[in-house]
Amino acid sequence: MTALTLSTAAASGLRADAIVVGVAKGAKGPVVAPGAEAVDKAYDGALAGILETLGASGGEGEVTKLPAPTGFKAPVVVAVGLGAVPENDDTFSAEALRRAAGAAARALAGAKKAVFALPITDAADAGVLAEGAALGAYAFDAYKENGKDAKNGKAPLAEVTLLGGKPRDAAYKAALARATAVTEELNRARDLINTPPNDLYPESFAAVATAAGKEHGIKVQVLDEKALQKGGYGGILGVGAGSAAAPRLVKLSYTSPKATKHLAFVGKGITYDSGGISLKPAGHNETMKCDMSGAAAVFAAVVSAARLGLEVNVTGWLALAENMPSGSATRPGDVLRMYSGKTVEVLNTDAEGRLVLADALWKASEEKPDAIIDVATLTGAMVLALGNRTFGVMANDDAFRTAIVEAAEEVGEESWPMPLPEHLRKGMDSPTADIANMGERMGGGLVAGLFLKEFVGEGITWAHLDIAGPAFNESGPFGYTPKGGTGSAVRTLVRLAELTASGDLG
């Protein structure tokens, strides 16, 4: 994990492999951003012109390297694009800073230390820069020889010093501590998502959660296949029936003695999704190790809440199973009796996430939390609707849905409010069972949300986050987002816990 520190020292005197400065896109060419004044002065005020000569424009994420000026202990200056110059003398947005820091950190893979002389006006800016740097420096190298990326042979940037951050100021220290806790847990979620399914399966995922619970004072309860059978968790058992790796339901409980509110997070944890008997075709199953991204997000959010000492009780439910075809697998046409007592006719075994979530949602409802939020890579339909970078938000309360979308925007996650049209419910009517796990094809993401709504306890505020698009990045890295597992929804869940603790949500 990249170490994060603050400093008010002069840029020229700091020993580092590189100094990072910001450059914005102005009407007449690149403009050096605040924070880099001392560096620009060392170039006799000509840094913007030099960068323009080198082809830099200040566009978002653009990275340009040049020799450091005489007298600097760092040998290289790295100019990172922040995008357009803010209008009306406004400051750069938090997300622009976060993305720039991430792009710079990734470009400095192999370096031991970098000094970031990027715009910092307050502790909040320091926090988002720290987040961007730590998330941008991330690399999954557990299966690489000597822990290095095989393509470039470079380890992630080891240390970042934020210039202009006040190391003794309480607000700055708190911002850095928050960024460290959240990014470490988000990167752990990325590690879980990227781990091959032969090493990450329900039992091993549960073991990771148990170890984290012991480390951070979180109570962890694991229901194995015998306990699930005894308890009547037909959805989780039905999905896991075809696999040699038995399912698990993991409960993580973080409690604060000062809490007056209780949030429940529920995560879909299909550690590998072949589609089951409704087998996915070639080209659609190669990345299905990521189908536990919702559970990874929930796990990371609960641990983050514990590390931050938030004054809210947070319970995480990880519904873990592997969806495989075999002689013992659930068949299309089978009927499962869920934990709630309802029966579900399984028309498609590749619509399995809603089955494990249904059991976990009903179990979570028994504790009567103030709100339940489930997170899942649930439907391809949501990807078709919103693309690869935006998750959909559905809820049984419009104000709660709006609050989630606003919280996501605040932390830099793209989301969009989606409806739950009641007329789509009829498509899930079954002649055999209480409900079918499939409905109308058009609006499939909304149909899945309506199915989940059936398993939320009466009177409980609930929301569903379909992160199928942004959970796993199959294209190239951008900003602070790597290729592979992204940790989507972690920061939104943590922010919702913070807002609940402060009394600003619900």
Could you give the CA distance from residue 245 to residue 498 in angstroms, rounded to a whole number?
A: 36
Could you give the CA distance from residue 502 to residue 499 in angstroms, rounded to a whole number?
A: 5
Q: Report the SS3 class of residue 268.
A: strand
Could you give the CA distance from residue 482 to residue 141 in angstroms, rounded to a whole number?
A: 12
CA-closest candidate to residue 178, choices 311, 305, 2:
305
Could you give the CA distance from residue 338 to residue 360 in angstroms, rounded to a whole number?
A: 10
Tell the burial category of 55 from Cβ atoms under 10 Å away from its Cβ (0-12, 13-18, 19+): exposed
Q: Report the SS3 class of residue 214.
A: helix
Question: Encoding tokens for residue 239?
Answer: 């999905």
- Give DSSP secondary structure letters for 109-128: TT-SEEEEE---SSHHHHHH
Give catalytic residue positions: 280, 354
Q: Report the SS3 class of residue 55.
A: coil
Q: Report the SS3 class of residue 399.
A: helix
The neighbour count for residue 253, using CB atoms within 10 Å, is 19
Could you give the CA distance from residue 93 to residue 183 in angstroms, rounded to a whole number?
A: 19
Query: Which 8-state DSSP code applies to residue 475?
Result: S
Could you give the CA distance from residue 375 to residue 156 in angstroms, rounded to a whole number?
A: 29
CA-closest candidate to residue 371, choices 332, 405, 400, 330:
400
For 89, phi then psi, to 5°, come to 60, 25
Question: Encoding tokens for residue 55?
Answer: 């082809």
**Strand 415-417's sheet: what is its strand order?**
219-223, 248-254, 313-323, 262-273, 371-376, 461-466, 391-395, 415-417
Tell the burial category of 296 from Cβ atoms under 10 Å away from its Cβ (0-12, 13-18, 19+): buried
